[in-house]
A and B are shown apart, each in its own frame.
Chain A
């Protein structure tokens, strides 16, 4: 729960809004408060000081880092994978790709096509089970022209402007008509993206070993317990079907993913 006494900060931290339904209620709720005004803010968590910054933007940056660290610390035995996590009926798929591969844009297209998103950036993997890290869909302004009918809705979402990345919108998937519920469960398909921007989309099966090799650069492993984390990734992949999606046109990509899920 976030609380702010200053209107400028209140408006700024809307960029961090994140209120999915989460089935895993083992994580305790904490209260984060931002007190102060203008050029000095104190950030506390359950009454304990965790940061002091000078601007509303710095509050957002400090909280962004703090919340990410917190989510990692709350799950010490897990691997963290850079992947979007979506469901189609009772099938769960992970979409893995490096930065700039088009993962979030594709995820939004999937939402518009009726998929339910759980998370667009990270999933935790423990044993063979995955759970998405709660976070709104972050869409760069540069991607707006690719979103068609969703552009207007996305452009109204809370935003943050980064010097290097430009403006980024924090999109609650429900703004696009989808549901937003995060459950723990098995991945049925792992789709590894290979960018083919401007070209056509195609898909092929990928054997488990190749899937793991593709995932490892996108996996965050802690200093300790790496063997267990790799075991979790291997177990998850071993139970899922793997695919490589050459990501070009979005209509083609959606057809490819649909065919992969029924395979």
Chain B
């Protein structure tokens, strides 16, 4: 299972309701809400997408985010180039 890792050279700035991420290589700004910010933090290069979904789902046990939402977060982070997928 590919592991997910945060892309290099990102400027991450915390605001009370999430992260503002500047990706210098693309000259783009991304806005991560609290759910996306937590998922982003899990992308440390050691966990696969399934691992992250399982761990994030436990944090959101109260129901603020479903597995589908967490998967959508992961897909979005990958699509925006903020997170990279690497084979073991």
Q: Which A residues are within 8 Å of any B CB, using their own CB?
A: 207-209, 212-213, 216, 226-228, 230-231, 234-235, 237-238
**Which residues of B, 1-44, contact A by the 8 Å Cβ criterion?**
11, 13-18, 20, 22, 24, 27, 29, 31, 33
Q: 13 A-B Cβ contacts within 8 A?
A: A208-B16, A209-B17, A209-B31, A209-B33, A212-B20, A226-B27, A227-B11, A227-B22, A230-B13, A231-B13, A234-B15, A234-B20, A238-B14
CA–CA, A227 and B24, complex, Å: 7
Shortest Cβ gap from A169 to chain B (Å): 36
In the bound complex, how far is the Cα of B3 from the Cα of A16, in angstroms?
59
B27 adjacent to A212 (CB under 8 Å)? no
Chain A residues lying within 8 Å of B15, measured Cβ to Cβ, are: 208-209, 212, 234, 237-238
Contacts A209-B33, A213-B31, A237-B15 known; list 9 others, CB within 8 Å: A207-B17, A209-B15, A209-B31, A212-B20, A227-B11, A227-B22, A230-B13, A230-B29, A231-B11
Taking CB as reference atom, which chain B residue is nearest A234? B13
Measured between beta carbons, the chain B residues less than 8 angstroms from A230 are 11, 13, 20, 22, 29
Judge whether A212 and B22 touch: CB under 8 Å. Answer: no
A-B contact count (CB 8 A): 39
Nearest chain B CB to A82's CB is how many angstroms away? 17
Q: B28 CB to closest chain A CB, in angstroms?
A: 10
Closest to A227 in B: B11
Q: Count the B residues whose beta carbon is within 8 Å of the partner chain — how many?
A: 14
A91 to B55 alpha-carbon distance, docked (Å): 43
Centre residue among B17, B20, B33 by max chain A CB count within 10 A: B20
Main DSSP-derived SS at the A contact region:
helix
Which residue of B has the minimal Cβ distance to A232?
Answer: B13
Bound together, the chains give a CA A237 to CA B31 distance in angstroms of: 14
A122, chain B: closest CB distance, angstroms: 20
Q: For residue B22, which residues in chain A have a CB less than 8 angstroms away from its CB?
A: 226-227, 230
**Beyond A227-B22, A234-B20, A238-B16, is A212–B31 a contact (Cβ under 8 Å)?**
yes
Question: Distance (Å) between the CB of B77 and the closest chain A CB?
Answer: 16
Closest A residue by C-beta to B21: A230
List the A side residues contacting B29 at CB < 8 Å. 216, 230
Within 8 A of A (CB), among B23-69: 24, 27, 29, 31, 33
A129 shortest CB reach to chain B, Å: 16
Q: Are B13 and A235 in contact (CB under 8 A)?
A: yes
Contact of A208 among B11, B17, B24 (CB under 8 A): B17
Nearest chain A residue, comparing its CB with the CB of B23? A227
Tell me the complex Cα distance, A235–B33, Å: 16
Min CB distance B65 to A, Å, is 16
Residues of the A chain whose Cβ atoms lie less than 8 Å from the Cβ of B17: 207-209
CA distance A216 to B20 in the complex (A): 11
Name the 10 nearest CB pairs between A and B, nearest first: A227-B11, A234-B13, A208-B15, A234-B20, A230-B22, A238-B15, A227-B22, A207-B17, A209-B17, A231-B13
A234 to B13, CA, bound (A): 7
CB B6 to nearest CB in A, in angstroms, measures 15
Q: How close is B34's CB to chain A, nearest CB, in angstroms? A: 9
Bound CA–CA A228/B17 (angstroms)? 20
Residues of B within 8 A of A212 (CB): 15, 20, 31
